[in-house]
Amino acid sequence: MKKIFSATFCLCLLITGRAQNKPAYVLYNAEGKKIAYSKMIRQLVKGDMVMIGELHNNPISHWMELEITKDCKEKRNLVLGAEMFEQDNQPALDLYLQGKLSAKGLDSMARLWKNYPTDYAPLVNFAKENKIAFAATNIPRRYASLVSKGGFSALDTLPAKAKSWIAPLPIAYDSTLPGYTKMVTMMAGHGTPNMIRAQASKDATMAYFILKYFVPGSLFIHYNGSFHTENHDGIVWYLKQQKPELRILTVTTVLQQDIKKLLEENKGKADFIICVDEDMTNTY
């Protein structure tokens, strides 16, 4: 019996040791220095807003979003918001949060992302359980598509109801912002200027509804694709145009082959950087 116990104990030590030497992610600050999760939380709760930039199919991104939200809730009143909900779906989301609509009903009434059940339902359900407001911040996709095809002017003829789901027109736009110029480079000649304007219509609309739902004294946590807030660009730029006094902190996720040291190209992308092993399994 002692031999069995001894062998089991040694095996547990071996597994634990390997896990400690093979972490799934490492947390860094903007300068590329490793930082403790608890220290990050202490800094995040001092802000007015936290923008969490995710990789949409990365399980570490989604797990960290939920954990950060839970731990910030212990210290601050929260308001939540997400790119994954388009503004015209706000009524359905509100009904679900109020317990007046089932999960199946929400799926029928709102245009949920395919990974909603695994990746976003936990956030929405946390908001529901804790009576936290949750803003649907994104422009309806069909209107971003109009911009992609015809520029901002394509929005001018929309009815008043449709315009209420979009940032007020005309939408401010600076094509020289680093994020937008990077998009041009990434598309390698396959994109058009209006595709960048479509991205801007999303950023502007998300910023507009973040500010609309923001409650002074509370911490607003927003979930979005990393590209929308990297380098304090995109949504953050639009927020600062309206409220330069806001203290906005950002979190992003990056993938690296070796996560023991943050690559130079990933430094400064956010105030806090979740560096994930590139072999991490995707959620879809």
- In whole angstroms, how far apart are CA 222 and each of 14, 69, 99, 133, 164? 40, 10, 22, 12, 20
Return all residues near 107 (Cβ < 8 A) that are at least 6 apart. Answer: 116
> Domain of 105: which CATH number?
3.40.50.11550
Instruction: Count CB neighbours of 177 within 10 A.
Output: 17
User: Which residues are registered as beta bridge partners of 18?
Assistant: none
Contact 49, 246 (CB under 8 A): yes
Q: Could you report how far apart the first and last alpha carbons of the chain are, in Å?
A: 45
**Domain tally, the chain:** 1
Does residue 143 sit within a domain?
yes
Does residue 178 sit within a domain?
yes
Does residue 173 sit within a domain?
yes
Residue 262 phi/psi, 5-degree rounding, is: -75, 130
pLDDT tens across the length of the chain (284 residues)? 444 444 444 434 434 444 557 899 999 999 999 999 999 999 999 999 999 999 999 999 999 999 999 999 999 999 999 999 999 999 999 999 999 999 999 999 999 999 999 999 999 999 999 999 999 999 999 999 999 999 999 999 999 999 999 999 999 999 999 889 888 787 766 668 899 999 999 999 999 999 999 999 999 999 999 999 999 999 999 999 999 999 999 999 999 999 999 999 999 999 999 999 999 999 99
For residue 53, give its domain range: 25-277
User: Which residues are registered as beta bridge partners of 78?
Assistant: 219
Distance CA 10, CA 5 (A): 9
Q: Which of 81, 142, 134 is nearest to 111 (CA)?
A: 142
Does residue 42 sit within a domain?
yes
pTM score, whole prediction: 0.91
Distance CA 196, CA 227 (A): 12
